[in-house]
Amino acid sequence: MTDMQVNPSFRLVYVPGVTPGKWVRVWSERLPDVPLDLLAVPYGDGERTLREGGADAGLVRLPVDKDVLSAIPLYSETTVVVFPKDHWLAAAEEVALDDLAEEVVFHPLDDTLGFTADTLPGRPAIARPDSTEDAIELVAANVGVLLVPQSLARLHHRRDLTYRPVADAPQSQVALAWPQERTTDLVEEFIGIVRGRTVNSSRGRGAGQAAPEAQPKKAAAGRGRPQPQKSGGQKAGGQKGGAQKAGGQKSGGQRAGAPKAGGAKAGGRGAAARRGRPKR
């Protein structure tokens, strides 16, 4: 709980194409007293912001430096090729990398797919665009095409452009990352949210709130237990008493009855024999 007192708010950095809205809504419902501050940065600045302490956690694209940051992969995106609407590729429902062999394929400096000069399909452009946004402008000018995650194609949507999925292209993977040395209670809470944990199963603040609710139920269950014990005790006691009484009678009858009956029988016969004998 110390970390929550030190951090009055939670800072979440995210890169283009990632939409944290659904997780932010859950956070506001679960922790209404802890503001969540969103920080949008360019693709290459997500990891740097986390390293420098500018955010508590971030929604970034893999890979990241695993020696410094912890990361939980969330999902992989479909890769698409962006081109003008009147391009011949528009006739296809799905495109393969080999279909781009004769096309100029832009390779922006903020490429999110991990292409190199040797793996990039098609013909390379004269120069690499500074950003995906700049590459989109060149595509709109009908200079070439661009491979990007589908979320970036939607982010930079233009009426004169369209896109198609590329089945055999590499994909970009989005992850939740945070500095390994700063895994605070609030970070644990956000991890629980993106993983779909309920309040009661959360490892963060939700777990502390769920504990008091469980105690009264346990106490109530404890108060309910003596009743069957008491009833069982009375029944057992009655049986015990009955067993002692019956045992006493049976035992007493066996111990006293056998000798007494035997004595009486033997004594009776002896007396009758004595009375029946003539005195001499």
The phi and psi torsions of 123 (rounded to 5 degrees) equal -100, 135
DSSP, collapsed to helix, strand or coil, labels residue 73 as strand
Which pLDDT does position 205 carry in this prediction? 56
Q: Which of 156, 130, 126 lies closest to 143, judged by CA?
A: 126
pLDDT > 70 fraction of the chain, expressed in percent and rounded: 69
Which pLDDT does position 83 carry in this prediction? 98
Chain center to CA of 153: 30
- Say yes or no to pLDDT of 243 above 80: no
- Say yes or no to pLDDT of 80 above 70: yes
The phi and psi torsions of 143 (rounded to 5 degrees) equal -95, -30
Beta strands in 77-208 (DSSP E): 79-84, 104-106, 123-124, 145-149, 161-165, 173-179
**In the structure, what pLDDT confidence band is assigned to residue 232 with cuts at 50, 70 and 90?**
very low
Higher local confidence (pLDDT), 131 or 268: 131
What mean pLDDT, rounded, does the chain reach? 80
- Say yes or no to pLDDT of 91 above 90: yes
Higher local confidence (pLDDT), 272 or 112: 112
Please write the tens of the pLDDT for every residue from 126-165.
999 999 999 999 999 999 999 999 999 999 999 999 999 9
Q: Which of 121, 127, 158, 131 lies closest to 143, judged by CA?
A: 127
Which pLDDT does position 68 carry in this prediction? 96
Helix (H) or strand (E) holding 59: strand 57-61
Mean pLDDT of 240-265: 43
Higher local confidence (pLDDT), 201 or 152: 152
Q: Which two tokens stand for residue 178?
A: 């945070």
- Say yes or no to pLDDT of 11 above 80: yes
DSSP 217-268: HHHHHHHHSHHHHHHHHHHHHHHHHHHHHHHHHHHHIIIIIHHHHHHHHHHH
Count other C-beta atoms under 10 Å from residue 38's C-beta: 14
Task: Kindly tell me the sign of the dihedral angle through the C-alpha atoms of 204, 205, 207, 211.
Answer: positive
- Say yes or no to pLDDT of 206 above 60: no
Tell me the residue type at 69.
L
- Say yes or no to pLDDT of 226 above 60: no
pLDDT > 90 fraction of the chain, expressed in percent and rounded: 67
Which pLDDT does position 201 carry in this prediction? 63
Higher local confidence (pLDDT), 28 or 214: 28
Q: How far apart are CA 268 and CA 280, in angstroms?
A: 22
Please write the tens of the pLDDT for every residue from 181-200.
999 999 999 999 999 988 77
Mean pLDDT of 223-235: 47
